[in-house]
Amino acid sequence: MTTKEQILHTATQEFSKLGYNAVSMNDLVKKLKLNKATIYYYFKDKKTLYEEVLKDALGKVSLDFDLSKDEGDGKILLKSYIDNLCFNIEKNPYLIALGLRELANYGANINENILPLISKQINYVDIIFSKLDLNSEFENINTYAFSSLIHGTIHNFYVIHMSKLALGTEELKQNDKKTLDYISNFLFQIIINAVCKEK
C-alpha cells in the first residue's frame, strides 16, 4: 500500500467511525504515525481528503458493475447490480457507516465534485428499470425512490444483523457473507414481484 493509499484507508475508517466533524488532521497524524507535512503533500486540507474518501467509496461501488452484461434482460442486470452492491459492502464494510453518516447529515459535506458519482448510481437504476417489463402503475417509476429503496434496504438490514444488539436472526447474526447473500436474494425477489408483470 502506498503512503497515499494508507492515508486514504485510515481516513476512510476514521470518517466512517466518527463522522467528518469529529476527525481532525492531528488525529490522523497520530493514527498514521506520519508527520503532518506528508498528509498535506497528498491532500491540501481535510475537506479535500474527505472528498477523496467519498470518491473512492463511490468508485468502488461502480467499479465491478457492467451494464453491458446482458443488455436485453433487466432482471439479470437488476440482480447483478444488487449483488455488486452487496459484494462491495462485504469487501468494504465501512461504506455503510460512511454513507449513513453523510445521509444523516443531509449531505452537508458533499460538494459538486461528488454529485456525478451519485448520479451514475441513479443512472444505473434508471437503465435497469427501463429494461424491465413493468406493471402499468410503475411505468413512470421514480428512479430516486427505487434507488433509495435498494440502498436503504441493504444498509438497514446489514447494520441490524452486524450489530451486537439483540436484533436480527441467529443464523445471520454478524455473518456478513450470509447476511448480504440473504438480502441480495430477498431484495431482488421483492422488487421483481412488486413491479414486474407476471409471465
Contacts of 112 (CB under 8 A, 6+ apart): none
Torsion of CA 158, 160, 165, 169, to 10 degrees: -90
Give yes or no for residue 40 having a pLDDT over 90.
yes
Residue 46's pLDDT band, with cuts at 50, 70 and 90, is very high
Give yes or no for residue 65 having a pLDDT over 80.
no
DSSP per position, the chain:
--HHHHHHHHHHHHHHHH-TTT--HHHHHHHHT--HHHHHHH-SSHHHHHHHHHHHHHHHHHHT--TTTTTT-HHHHHHHHHHHHHHHHHH-THHHHHHHHHHHTTTTT--TTTHHHHHHHHHHHHHHHHTS-B-GGGTT--HHHHHHHHHHHHHHHHHHHHSSSS-S-TTTTT-HHHHHHHHHHHHHHHHHHHHBPP-
**R_g (Cα) of the chain, nearest Å:** 19
Mean pLDDT, the chain, whole residue set: 88
Q: What topology does CATH give the domain 3-195?
A: Tetracycline Repressor; domain 2 (1.10.357)
Give yes or no for residue 8 having a pLDDT over 90.
yes
Give yes or no for residue 62 having a pLDDT over 70.
no
Domain boundaries, the chain: 3-195
Model confidence pLDDT, tens digit, residues 141-188:
888 888 889 999 999 999 999 998 888 888 899 898 999 999 999 999
Q: Which phi and psi (to 5°) does residue 67 adopt?
A: -70, -15
Model confidence pLDDT, tens digit, residues 69-105:
656 688 988 998 899 899 888 888 888 888 888 888 8
